[in-house]
Structure 1
């Protein structure tokens, strides 16, 4: 099944050293390679879990492994370790770019079961004041953004999720954040930059700062530029027309125009090409997962696959 997204021998050799080992308390794990090939097959084709071919083993085993590793951060750790090896080999181009892309959510992605509200006398819930005739507040689980708390929201495309991404100069993801589809790009710039964390092979702190960052006008605001200056990162973000007109009307009080490097800005298309690579995986291009953390794991697996096939 290598032609449908399975790992080649060379790719498996790159990934195998980082995979977790069974501790023996929960029985023997099914072969990692067979299960990961099943996960990649589903990512590539977008088929329901129950329709996985029998050569990958029981579909329930493949799904539960993906769900577990999405929830406990295993996929995220694998992603960072793959980046660490690539950085040690000089494979990462640190001329980064930031952008986002909306993903249409399938109808099967809606309807995730909500957790019940905590009891009034529980330590988590605490004692609540009486409503005094007011309408009771609806409990909504936290995390993921959006009304349902699962990174699902309304936008021009309908029921959508948005992938916020930072990519290196060779069109490969460095960090991934997902939110509801109507979430503004600029509000997620800092979370995207905070998730850039490439460990060192050997002593030293993880690398968290690119050499430069390019972004489009959606990120043109004072908070974004202030954050980049604080991190001492060279950046190239075009100024919005209304911001420029307002600055000119204020005269000398408006300050100097932000710097703009046209040659550096031409490289911003790398993040758009990275998004295109991610969306070659049908389970990423259309969201089928109900839970936000599982869909984030799905996108992370696609990013790992891109890196080990560099």
Structure 2
């Protein structure tokens, strides 16, 4: 085992979740070797054709990544490793935020409008590539637990807003409880910045019984003050609880240590989404 590769403990967790080899007479390359090749590619950001020989043919690693992206294997593994963590349960003080990554010229040829086969549901238009101030970009939307571990990740074009993705992020959280019934989705407390400070958002959160800490924007404060007593009371804000929002920033730092994620090289939104999921799996397995 070398730096950045699967440890024996991590392999014991994910091996039962991987598809079994087919009945073809052709030799089925070892899953662990292939996954280590995928991890090396994501960690270094190198082109697929530069994959080291010890990981086998690059086409095998890429095809395995593409196949398991299509059948939901990566999502199944992430759901399992969230349960099989290091013994400390999920901390349900959830922080949400977004971060924009540049799209490399090798990926910028992806379609900007209209759906595509195999794209992530979070890719609202084309391959989740949009133009923002820095050029072609993709925005990563992340929900992290109280220890900065990813619970759900979605992607949109870079110019997309944060607030419309809040409830899709929350709905994407599904942590098995180990008991009969639905997985848990509702946090004890939701922490978000001013990008999510919309009146309609606060109303929906209250209807769902979700406690939240979201600061009020200056324009909202001024508008309420201009109405006098008709403007109502300001929304409650727990300054001490809001300090915990830094965990989602630390989660982004962990994700962007993977060079293939800090800059988007994947043309397909589904592949980039799967790469983020793999990085999240490795964070939970540490």
TM-score range, shorter chain: over 0.9
Measured in 1, the distance between the counterparts of 2:141 and 2:228 equals: 36
- 1:221 equivalent in structure 2: 198
Secondary structure, aligned partner of 2:85 = helix
- 2:97 equivalent in structure 1: 99
Report whether the alignment pairs 1:54 with 2:31: no
Question: How far off its partner does 1:23 sit?
Answer: 4.5
- 1:136 equivalent in structure 2: none
Contact 1:44 1:281 in 2 (8 A): yes
Contact 2:110 2:129 in 1 (8 A): no
- 2:109 equivalent in structure 1: 111
Report whether the alignment pairs 1:211 with 2:188: yes
Question: How far off its partner does 1:199 sit?
Answer: 1.6
Report whether the alignment pairs 1:173 with 2:147: no
Deviation string, structure 1 residues 218-263 (Cα, Å, up to 9, x no partner) = 1100222122212211110000010011111112322221110011
Contact 1:278 1:303 in 2 (8 A): yes
- The answer for unaligned runs of 5 or more in structure 2 is none
Identify which range, 182-191 or 104-113, moves more after superposition. Answer: 104-113
Secondary structure, aligned partner of 1:109 = coil
Measured in 2, the distance between the counterparts of 1:51 and 1:158 equals: 27
Report whether the alignment pairs 1:24 with 2:23: yes
Map 1:1-310 onto structure 2 (within 5 A): 2-3=2-3, 5-24=4-23, 29-86=28-85, 89-112=87-110, 140-141=114-115, 144-146=123-125, 149-309=126-286
Identify which range, 35-44 or 70-79, moves more after superposition. Answer: 70-79
Measured in 2, the distance between the counterparts of 1:30 and 1:47 equals: 22
Question: How far off its partner does 1:26 sit?
Answer: 8.9
- The answer for unaligned runs of 5 or more in structure 1 is 115-138
Contact 1:15 1:308 in 2 (8 A): no
Contact 1:85 1:201 in 2 (8 A): no
Secondary structure, aligned partner of 1:274 = helix
- What is the aligned residue count? 281
Measured in 1, the distance between the counterparts of 2:19 and 2:176 equals: 18
Identify which range, 273-282 or 12-21, moves more after superposition. Answer: 12-21
Contact 2:111 2:127 in 1 (8 A): no
Secondary structure, aligned partner of 2:6 = coil
Query: Superposition RMSD on alpha carbons, in Å?
Result: 1.9
Contact 2:97 2:193 in 1 (8 A): yes
Contact 1:190 1:227 in 2 (8 A): no
Measured in 2, the distance between the counterparts of 1:106 and 1:181 equals: 13
Measured in 2, the distance between the counterparts of 1:292 and 1:61 equals: 20
Question: How far off its partner does 1:280 sit?
Answer: 0.3
Contact 1:22 1:28 in 2 (8 A): no
Q: How has the CA–CA distance of structure 1 residues 24 and 251 changed in structure 2, closer, same or farther, with 3 Å as cutoff?
A: farther
Structure with greater Cα Rg: 1
Secondary structure, aligned partner of 1:2 = coil
Contact 1:71 1:294 in 2 (8 A): no
Measured in 2, the distance between the counterparts of 1:229 and 1:77 equals: 31
Question: How far off its partner does 1:84 sit?
Answer: 2.4
